[in-house]
Amino acid sequence: MAAAAVVSNGDYAAVKTPSTGRFAAGYSEVQNSRLDHSLPLPSVLKSSLKVVDGPPSSAAGNPDEIAKLFPCLYGQPSVNLVPGDSAGELAPKALKIGVVLSGGQAPGGHNVISGIFDYLQDRCKGSTLYGFRGGPAGIMKGKYVVLTPEFIYPYRNQGGFDMICSGRDKIETPEQFKQAADTAVKLDLDGLVVIGGDDSNTNACLLAENFRSKNLKTRVIGCPKTIDGDLKSKEVPTSFGFDTACKIYAEMIGNVMVDARSTGKYYHFVRLMGRAASHITLECALQTHPNVTLIGEEVAAKKQTLKNVTDYIADVICKRAELGYNYGVILIPEGLIDFIPEVQQLIAELNEILAHDVVDEAGIWKKKLTPQSLELFDLLPQAIQEQLMLERDPHGNVQVAKIETEKMLIQMVETELEARKQASAYKGQFKGQSHFFGYEGRCGLPSNFDATYCNALGYAAGVLLHSGKTGLISSVGNLAAPVAEWTVGGTALTSLMDVERRHGKFKPVIKKAMVELEGAPFKKYVSLREEWALKNLYINPGPIQFVGPTADKVNHTLLLELGYQE
């Protein structure tokens, strides 16, 4: 490694000295302190190893359809890495590997890349690692950078995806597959690592199938990324980024809780990222003990209406007022209203009406709504009504994502409490404060857990490609144990798939892992929520620590799902 080098990627145009781990400019002390943080590897990755095939695999559902969609790959075994003698070891050889980041940011992405890189340096001398820029589009357009020690160094243990950036394009049409294949051939790629969520890993498997069907030598391995925590299975216990993002949100929630208790006069409504599943909200609740937590999956399972949700919150507020508490903290998953059937129905009707009718000031258009939807519409605060009418996407559809659910709930709760006050059923004071924690958590410096986990995922992806595997997702398990004991392998992506019918065709999907209402994290929350609602058992997790006795703690969700009782 050079003693000093000018980093060539524009954003870090600072003279750095890898040997001391210090930048002349551009990094904070904490960023600098992370550069040389050494990452423990699972024991199996530290010495001679061999790749052991498991039994033939099936699919998560509809195996016959998955078999048709993946004729080359379906049924292939998942694999485990186990200690081997040096005789059975993979022969060192120079590989050409590409890596791509796909979709939204999650803390630890850079460490997956450095993990792959380190594996190649350690075991496959003379290899080349290409970083495709800007996500899958970078593969299709052949936009890449050769990753060198100097290029990678400043991103070690740093948050963000800015080393090579990400993108949301997909490789799915025959033309796009051809572009990807052209790049793979042109660069003579032995392998490609796709770092992404459920969709991206599905597409990684389609690409692996496509390459295999064309007899290309390029293998494709996926890595599980998403702060939302909804890409997981028995073999892949968690997606990276979830741990860090939840800890960052929980830090903020904990601070707001102490503020609420100190001030004694605000209800803080905190919306948290996580459009599909409510894992983030649940984990943050387990970390901080809020007074109310809404879990989308529960709302859906109980077929709750917006009025039910409002009443639930108002009930807790009324009970707390009787105890003398006119403050509290309420957690709301970003995707809440997607879980409420009546809201979906209203939005569908609005889309239909607004596409064809003129909205008159007098409100005659409203007569086209079904009675239930009209009732719901009239229940909504005026600002939300306007948002529904005015904020349209380019196709003229209501933009559900733009609705500030936390503000909507504050207004609805306020109205409900006012009515109860009139009926002498509530005597407290209610003041709502809204928060949305999202972007703050996607690019934080990865926690020690995410940093180490990602490094292992990347290192394992290197092994899998080295051993000629394709269509697997890098899988690191036994995560509650010391890192030395973590298990490492690759899971057949087809084994995680089911099909969905879209536009009359079967599409393969890795089903999003939703919050299980029978799962240990949710059950733990349910067992405690009544106490949390009325007592003030707030916990302030504080800022993520990178050194010291608290630095290596793993999130509750993972521990509970792995069977640990806390």
Nearest CA to 469 among 51, 89, 84, 114? 51
What distance in Å separates the CA atoms of residue 513 and residue 235, rounded to the nearest whole number? 13
Select 19 or 28, whichever has its Cβ closest to a second copy. 28
| Residues 206-235 as x/- pattern, contact with a second copy by CB under 8 A | ------------------------------
**How big is the site for a second copy, counted in residues (CB under 8 A)?**
60
Kindly name the residue from 85, 118, 169, 228 that is annotated as catalytic: 228
Among 8, 20, 28, 385, binds a second copy (CB under 8 A): 28
Min CB(383)–a second copy separation in Å: 9
- Tell me: is residue 519 an annotated ligand-binding position: no
Assess 31 for contact with a second copy (CB under 8 A).
yes
DSSP calls for 448-474: HHHHHHHHHHHHHHHHHHHTT--SEEE
Residue 93 identity: K
Among 274, 444, 458, 490, binds a second copy (CB under 8 A): 444
Interacting residue with a second copy among 225, 546, 555, 558 (CB under 8 A): 546
258-277 positions binding a second copy, by CB under 8 A: 258-259, 261-264, 266, 268
Rounded Cα–Cα distance for residues 487 and 80 (Å): 8
Q: Closest approach of Cβ 488 to a second copy, in Å?
A: 28
Give the span between the Cα atoms of 99 and 219, in whole angstroms. Answer: 12
The only residue of 368, 435, 507, 511 in contact with a second copy, by rule CB under 8 A: 435
- A 10 A CB-CB count for 83 gives 11
Where in 90-119 is the site for a second copy (CB under 8 A)?
105
Query: Which CB atom, from 23 or from 211, has the smaller least distance to a second copy?
Result: 23
Burial class (CB in 10 A: 0-12, 13-18, 19+), 393: exposed
**Site track 133-172 with a second copy (rule: CB under 8 A), x = hit:** -------------------------xxxxx--xx------
Q: Is 202 annotated as belonging to a binding site?
A: no
Shorter beta-carbon distance to a second copy: residue 11 or 516: 11
Q: 252 labelled as ligand-binding?
A: no
Yes or no: say if 35 and 21 are a contact pair by the CB < 8 Å rule: yes
Task: Kindly state whether residue 175 participates in binding a second copy, applying the rule CB under 8 A.
Answer: no
CB of residue 321 to a second copy, shortest distance in Å: 16
Residue 398 burial (C-beta neighbours within 10 Å; 0-12, 13-18, 19+): buried
| 543 binds a second copy per the rule CB under 8 A | yes
Nearer to a second copy, 517 or 537 (CB): 537
Annotated binding residue at 274? yes
Neighbour-count burial of 556, counting CB atoms closer than 10 A to its CB (0-12 exposed, 13-18 middle, 19+ buried): buried
In which residue are the tokens 């934080």 written? 444
DSSP 12: G
Q: How far is the CB of 489 from a second copy (least distance, A)?
A: 29
442 touches a second copy by CB under 8 A = yes
Judging by beta carbons within 10 Å of its beta carbon (0-12, 13-18, 19+), is residue 161 exposed, middle or buried?
buried
Q: Is 22 in the site for a second copy (CB under 8 A)?
A: no
Whether 490 has a binding-site annotation, put simply, is no
Nearest to 452 by CA among 172, 70, 42, 161: 42
Q: Are strands 5-6 and 15-17 parallel, antiparallel or unpaired?
A: antiparallel
Question: Measured from the CB of residue 550, what is the shortest distance to a second copy in angstroms?
Answer: 4
Q: State which of positions 285-304 bind a second copy (CB under 8 A).
A: 287
Helices (H), 7-143: 29-35, 63-69, 109-123, 136-141
Least distance from a second copy to the Cβ atom of residue 104, Å: 8
Interface mask toward a second copy for 505-524; x: CB under 8 A: --------------------
Does the footprint of a second copy cover residue 394 (CB under 8 A)? Answer: no
- Verify binding: residue 550, a second copy, rule CB under 8 A: yes
Which residues face 101 on adjacent strands? 166, 195
Residue 275 marked ligand-binding: yes
Site for a second copy in 358-377 (CB under 8 A): none
Angle between helices 520-534 and 306-322 (to 10 degrees): 50
The residues pairing with 492 across neighbouring beta strands, listed in sequence order, are 472
- Among residues 7, 16, 34, 328, the one that binds a second copy under rule CB under 8 A: 34
Report which residue type is found at 268.
H
The whole-angstrom separation of Cα 408 and Cα 387 is 10
CA distance 251 to 331: 14
Catalytic annotation on 228?
Answer: yes
The answer to whether the annotation marks 440 as part of a ligand binding site is: yes
User: Which amino acid is located at 540 in the chain?
Assistant: N
The answer for residues whose C-beta is within 8 angstroms of residue 295's C-beta and 6 or more apart is 278, 281, 282, 333, 515, 522, 525
The rounded distance, in Å, linking the Cα atoms of 73 and 62 is: 15
Nearer to a second copy, 446 or 477 (CB): 446
441 labeled binding residue: yes
Between CA 491 and CA 476 the distance in angstroms is: 10
For 2, the 3-state DSSP assignment is coil
For a second copy, give the closer residue by CB, 25 or 423: 25
Contacting residue, 221, 252, 294, 306, with a second copy by CB under 8 A: 252
Residue among 548, 563, 565, 566 that touches a second copy (CB under 8 A): 548
CB 205 within 8 A of CB 175: no
Catalytic residues: 228
* Binding site per annotation, positions for substrate: 226-228, 265-266, 273-275, 334, 439-442
* Binding site per annotation, positions for Mg(2+): 198
* Binding site per annotation, positions for diphosphate: 104
Q: Which residues bind a second copy (CB under 8 A)?
A: 10-11, 13, 25-31, 33-34, 105, 158-162, 165-166, 248, 251-252, 254-256, 258-259, 261-264, 266, 268, 287, 433, 435, 439-445, 535-537, 539-550, 553
